[in-house]
Structure 1
């Protein structure tokens, strides 16, 4: 058996680097650990942290193909962030003009959650702890 200790990071390829960089840093509040431009690939790589822990690699590449990105599509369903107060998240999203789905309650845990889409339509969930 493989001894996996934790998820190391999540890699996301965006279609508009500046828009996605702003979204993940200013709207979601992730902090930049490192930003590199790789000229040979015409690509940015942005390492982002949540509470000081490296969590997301944001990449840009020229002419990225569109990907089906609905929560029910085959493949990765969504990225979920744990939050202490979903009402505060909703208020922040309203202030940032980010549209979110109506807040729902998980029928099994009784916890509340909502979804938004990142600039490329990747489903992101906020799950109240």
Structure 2
């Protein structure tokens, strides 16, 4: 994993992990508006609307800069296609964190979450 502090991105063999932008909102809505993703996450609303995606994305930079929560888009390294999201919380009060993720159903079973999780662990401990 290679982390670029300037662009706040990570690259792995197949993936680019980057901050979300508002232009991702439609794809996030399409991928998250899936009952199978909803039932395997703790806080994802269903149905998932464009407003849900926009308000979620708007919080990312503030959380990142506050060293509170790091949320990255999981993207194809070559094409930039968005596959899902991975996040690492930073609970400083308790000196721990939690890794969470979701991957759009069309991309299940390809090892993207595992590859992204390994990168996030490197990011957390390096």
Question: When the two structures are superposed, what TM-score results if normalisation uses the length of structure 2?
Answer: 0.29
Specify which structure has the higher proportion of strand. Answer: 1
Is the radius of gyration larger for structure 1 or structure 2? 1
Question: When the two structures are superposed, what TM-score results if normalisation uses the length of structure 1?
Answer: 0.29
For CA contacts below 8 A with separation 6 or more, give which structure has more relative contact order. Answer: 2
Specify which structure has the higher proportion of helix. Answer: 2
